[in-house]
Amino acid sequence: MAILKALVVDDASFVRDLVKRTVRQRFPVIETTDAPNGRRAQSLMTASSFDLVLCDWEMPEMTGLELLQWMRQQPKYQSVPFIMITSRGDKDHVIEAVREGVSEYLGKPFSPDGLSKKIIKVMGRQLKEAMDRGGRSLSGPADAFKESAALLTQKREAPARNPQPEPQSPLLQPQAPKPSAAAGSSSAKFSSRSGNKGAMSMASVRFSESTLASVVKDINLTEVRVIAKRDQLFPGILDQAVVDIDLGDGQMARLNGYVHQLQAVDKRQDTDFVSVTVRFVDEDPKKLEDLSRFVARFRAGGR
């Protein structure tokens, strides 16, 4: 039986489903409701009450930041935890969100463990007591509460013998690294394989535990196909992804998606290159406009 209520706000239904699934599996005492943008979320929050808000930043009609600003002006929501889940991790945006009263900041793509720890951190004993009342176990190898004591007391547990890398909060995480010189030298090889005589477009494809330096092979309004060297850490099918594309003039498009296909470039077992297709899930008109501009420029460069 649900005891707490959470509102999940994101213009991409794929992301909303990921968040709701994680909450449902890890915290069965939390009932989730979702909204495609801040305006709809505002309406739901006015008509009902929520104990937690998990929200994207960039959305049509009303952004996550605008929803946060409105929320902190409402007496019943002044102290309700608000987790911003977004691909915007640059310092200025983080500082702006902190000033407006954000409780935590989680970068996309996120892992279920990363999201669970943020929820535990912001809800604290309210969540623990709800789990107790719901008769749920607070321990177990796959239980999200196995580190709850450390999180609630701000103490660190001894590191595991072979710890897996954990995605850092964007509050502490630097920008995704630019393609290295090695990646740059690889682009010439990519160019000769692709037959594209225009300037190659580099892209960073971010996953929950890695960033893939790659070259754009093809792109349209629904998906992008990139080529990356095999010696990097690759994702799995259906893993979340954020594709960072340089639009020029200092602007960066951050497009949310998921891995649709992984394929060897050559029909050889020892091929050096892998093709990765990422399907986009954003429904924000501004992002689609940015993508359209890049597609047009990409096509013109390949003539």
pLDDT of residue 302: 57
Helices 13-26 and 112-133: crossing angle in degrees, nearest 10, is 40
Delimit the domains of the chain by residue range.
4-153, 181-301
pLDDT of residue 118: 95
Cα separations in angstroms, 67 against 30, 86, 118, 236, 265? 21, 14, 19, 34, 44
Pairwise CA distance, residues 116 & 121, whole Å: 9
The top-level CATH class assigned to 4-153 is alpha beta
- Reply yes or no on whether the pLDDT at 124 is more than 50: yes
Pairwise CA distance, residues 84 & 54, whole Å: 6
Please give the order of strands across the beta sheet that includes 30-35.
Answer: 30-35, 4-9, 52-55, 82-86, 104-107
Least confident of 30-39, 84-93, 95-104, 267-276: 84-93
- Reply yes or no on whether the pLDDT at 186 is more than 70: no
Q: Which helix (H) or strand (E) holds 99?
A: helix 91-99
Total-model pTM? 0.72
Higher pLDDT, 151 or 287: 287
- Reply yes or no on whether the pLDDT at 196 is more than 50: no
Contact 85, 240 (CB under 8 A): no
Higher pLDDT, 300 or 1: 300
Q: What backbone torsions phi and psi does residue 124 show, to the nearest 5 degrees?
A: 55, -135
Higher pLDDT, 12 or 180: 12
- The mean pLDDT of 76-90, rounded to a whole number, is 89
Q: What is the DSSP string of 113-167?
A: HHHHHHHHHHHHHHHHHHHHHTT--S-STT-GGGGHHHHHHTPPPPPPSSPPP-P
Reported as a pLDDT band with limits 50, 70 and 90, residue 142 is very low
Pairwise CA distance, residues 100 & 97, whole Å: 5
- Residue appearing with tokens 């007391």: 153
pLDDT of residue 172: 35
Higher pLDDT, 197 or 29: 29
- The mean pLDDT of 214-219, rounded to a whole number, is 92
- Among 221, 211, 210, 218, which residue's Cα sits nearest to residue 190? 218
pLDDT of residue 148: 42
Pairwise CA distance, residues 13 & 144, whole Å: 24
- Reply yes or no on whether the pLDDT at 22 is more than 70: yes
| CATH code 2.40.10.220 for 181-301 | yes
